[in-house]
């Protein structure tokens, strides 16, 4: 995506042609600023993106304080890219790092990729305003740190794997994978916001995996962090792939990208909710409970008229499941259901799914498949072992309305296999 100006460059640009390259990418005006002038320049320019052009600027705590005051609360989102070496402590936690050894094109690519989030945020805000002016119901953009919604895959089987898993798990949702094949299967099934590839894999295997990721448009903006100096010779045109030799530094560098990716996913769900006249919950991608009941009433009436089947499943999770895992399960369920089906997350965290044109026998099959995926991608809060939901199923009877059908999903539980 072409950059939109104004772009403020703070510090000393490292290449003579960098400013020209930024201008060619569409950033206009490009405003240069010293560190001492940064507060006044940023306040006056209202920039749409910011580049911290050298190590000293990226590590400057006064610059970080300015960004926290002027940029962090900005709406729409303003991307900040920091040119910083692996050994540099980046003072502004939300800055997106780029290696000083990167070419001009690499810096521009990092800015352009991050700017897509700003454009998406601006689009959502515009659509929300239009919906409000038209008197249509519309959702609110979820607040809080997007890391609370994020999920990261940590793949590895070397000595660093336990440490990486612990550090990622303390900040984001974690999925562990002991093989590249397992990691690839999770990428296909889940809404993933970051991928860490640790040690223990052959370089050829990792290189092939990166090639597949780079060629798949679904993973265009997926942050991918590689641990280990043995992998530093690999090259990819993916804008969010980087190499770090230290586990602690890898997590520090990865988390801003994970936060950004989770923010974009949050915005995409909000757009989907707007397209459905505010009936979808942006936190889950499923219907709000009230909208679910209305949809169920309509589905029952259509099923009665056409003589087709209609079944309802309720997935109940452990009562002490964390809020992060509960919402993650609901988002996963929204990806697993068929286009003709619909669902909602109840206040207690359980998930209701209505299977249209489906009798009880086939509903058993579909519900167990969904529960199986949930089981193998969730962990029990007690012993961190795979856990699955308990399932209740009911199918429409001729006399059923929405209340009676919902009441019958308290039948005997089925244990997910």
Average pLDDT over residues 388-406: 91
User: What's the pLDDT tens digit per position in 36-80?
Assistant: 999 999 999 999 999 999 999 999 999 999 999 999 999 999 999
- Backbone torsions φ then ψ of 151, nearest 5 degrees: -135, 130
Predicted local confidence at residue 267, as pLDDT: 95
Predicted local confidence at residue 387, as pLDDT: 63
User: What's the pLDDT tens digit per position in 356-365?
Assistant: 999 999 999 9
What's the pLDDT band for 141 if we cut at 50, 70, 90? confident
| pLDDT at position 412 over 70 | no
End-to-end CA gap in the chain: 45
CA atoms within 13 A on the CB side of 160: 22
User: What's the pLDDT tens digit per position in 265-276?
Assistant: 999 999 999 999
Average pLDDT over residues 283-308: 94
Placement of tokens 């490292």 in the chain: 14
Cβ-based burial of 217 (10 A; exposed 0-12, middle 13-18, buried ≥19): exposed
Average pLDDT over residues 77-93: 93
CA 337 to chain centre: 19
- Alpha helix (H) ranges present in 135-189? 161-169, 180-189
Average pLDDT over residues 186-191: 85
User: Domains plus CATH for the chain?
Assistant: 7-136 (3.40.50.2300), 146-258 (3.40.50.2300), 284-415 (3.30.70.270)
Predicted local confidence at residue 101, as pLDDT: 61
């Amino acid at each position: 995506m072409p950059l939109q100006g104004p772009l403020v460059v703070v510090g000393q640009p490292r290449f003579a042609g960098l400013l020209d390259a930024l201008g060619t990418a569409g950033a206009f005006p490009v405003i240069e600023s010293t560190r001492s002038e940064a507060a006044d320049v940023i306040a006056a320019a209202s920039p749409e993106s910011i580049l911290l052009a050298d190590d000293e600027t990226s590590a400057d705590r006064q610059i970080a304080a300015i960004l926290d005051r002027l940029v962090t609360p900005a709406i729409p989102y303003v991307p900040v890219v920091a040119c910083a070496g692996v050994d540099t402590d980046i003072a502004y936690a939300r800055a997106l790092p780029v290696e000083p050894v990167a070419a001009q094109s690499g810096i521009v690519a990092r800015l352009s990729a991050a700017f897509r989030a700003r454009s998406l945020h601006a689009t959502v805000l515009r659509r929300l305003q239009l919906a409000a002016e038209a008197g249509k119901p519309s959702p609110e953009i979820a607040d809080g740190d997007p890391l609370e919604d994020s999920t990261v895959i940590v793949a590895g089987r070397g000595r660093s794997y336990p440490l990486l898993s612990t550090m990622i798990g303390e900040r984001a949702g974690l999925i562990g994978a002991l093989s590249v094949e397992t990691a690839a299967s999770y990428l296909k099934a889940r809404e993933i916001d970051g991928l860490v590839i640790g040690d223990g894999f052959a370089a050829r295997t990792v290189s092939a995996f990166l090639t597949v990721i780079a060629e798949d448009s679904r993973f265009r903006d997926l942050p991918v962090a590689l641990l280990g100096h043995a992998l530093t010779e690999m090259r990819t045109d993916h804008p969010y792939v980087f190499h770090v030799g230290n586990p602690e530094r890898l997590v520090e560098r990865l988390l801003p990208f994970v936060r950004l990716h989770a923010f974009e996913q949050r915005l995409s769900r909000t757009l989907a909710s707007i397209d459905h006249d505010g009936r979808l919950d942006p936190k889950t991608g499923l219907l709000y409970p009230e909208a679910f009941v209305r949809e169920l009433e309509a589905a029952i009436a259509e099923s009665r008229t056409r003589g087709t089947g209609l079944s309802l499943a309720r997935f109940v999770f452990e009562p002490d499941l964390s809020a992060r895992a509960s919402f993650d399960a609901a988002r996963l369920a929204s990806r697993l259901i068929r286009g003709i089906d619909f669902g909602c997350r109840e206040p207690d965290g359980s998930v209701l799914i209505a299977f249209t044109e489906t009798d009880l026998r086939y509903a058993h099959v579909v519900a167990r498949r969904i529960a199986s995926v949930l089981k193998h991608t969730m962990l029990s809060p007690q012993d961190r072992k795979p856990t699955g939901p308990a399932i209740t199923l009911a199918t429409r009877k001729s006399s059923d309305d929405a209340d009676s059908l919902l009441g019958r999903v308290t039948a005997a539980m089925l244990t997910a296999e």
